[in-house]
Structure 1
Amino acid sequence: MTNIDRIDRNRAGLPVLLTIRSEQHFEDMEPDSIELVTEGSLTPTGEGGLILSYQESELTGLEGTTTSFEVRGPQVILSRTGSVNSQMVFEEGKQHTSLYETPFGELAIDIQTSRLRHSLTERGGLLDLRYSISVDHSATGRNAFKIRVRRKHEARQNGQS
């Protein structure tokens, strides 16, 4: 059970504005990238970690899903709940096997993290994550997330909504 499951649901996270850039690279294909600006929340876990959460949209193809990144020491745990359910563990230089639930069934996937950097605090920051995914020990592609987090009131003060 992760801190996402344990966190006090009555305690609201800090409202944040997220700029999320996601890239997927598949062999012999042009990279597929999405950039999304959305609202979310940033919640301290009480153990020095943070949980960054937001609602997926139609643009990402995951409408009806909540995505959370739990930053905990050298690991980041991505959890999705709703129309898609999954949990992926990222730890630079290490491989973790995760279960990915789709409407068509479950897949066991291997996540090999090549880069995990973050400067996240309760004031915001940046999360940079690069990894490759293998299904049945066959590489399916390389992926990257770059998430910029700003406190909502600071974004408004800078003339942004």
Structure 2
Amino acid sequence: MTKDVLLRIKGLQSVEAEEETVEMIAPGIYFERDGKHYIKYDEAVEGTEETIQNLIKVDGSSMEVTKRGVTNAHMVFERNKKNHTYYSTPFGNLLVGISAKDIVLKAAEDSLDIKVEYALEVNYEHLADCTISMNVQSKKRAHLHL
């Protein structure tokens, strides 16, 4: 895969009987090191001119997401394991628990497909069941457009 990529992220949160979907497309940088895939991209913060720098590190059994900027966090998703982290926002810190149920990584020559299913808790209380689906494509061959 090329260094310059387009990233499509779709998040689904299920809280009781309601579902909320969020989707975004962003340009990014891709590289591979020691069998792990890395994706860097910036995320716009709605209502401000600030951005959040994101780094995703994924292999077949785990994914790490590091956020730096107006929001700061280091979230670890490991299959069948619960991890806790502090999610720092301008309004204060939240203690977040992540219990990954499944992590699927499909790598091809010019793309990556990643799907993570997990339970999300905040301050030790279950908040939602979530799914993150990501598609990363070489910019030159991408079927995505900004």
Q: CA RMSD in A?
A: 2.4
- Paired with 2:51 and 2:84, the residues of 1 have a C-alpha distance of 25
Closer, same or farther in 2 for the Cα pair 1:129/1:48, shift >3 Å?
same
CA shift, 1:146, in A, is 0.4
Say whether 1:77 aligns with 2:64. yes
SS of 2:119's equivalent?
strand
- How many pairs align? 144
Larger fraction in helix: 1
Show the counterpart of 1:104. 91
SS of 1:84's equivalent?
coil
Larger fraction in strand: 2
Moved more, 64-73 or 85-94: 64-73
Closer, same or farther in 2 for the Cα pair 1:64/1:141, shift >3 Å?
same
Q: Unaligned regions of 5+ residues in structure 2, if any?
A: none
Show the counterpart of 1:136. 123
Show the counterpart of 1:149. 136
Percent of aligned pairs with the same residue?
24
Show the counterpart of 1:4. none
Q: Unaligned regions of 5+ residues in structure 1, if any?
A: 1-12
Closer, same or farther in 2 for the Cα pair 1:133/1:101, shift >3 Å?
same
Say whether 1:38 aligns with 2:26. yes
TM-score by length of 1: 0.79
CA shift, 1:60, in A, is 10
TM-score by length of 2: 0.86
The answer (yes or no) to whether the contact 2:85–2:96 under 8 Å persists in 1 is yes
Show the counterpart of 2:4. 15
Larger RCO (alpha carbons 8 Å, 6+ apart): 2
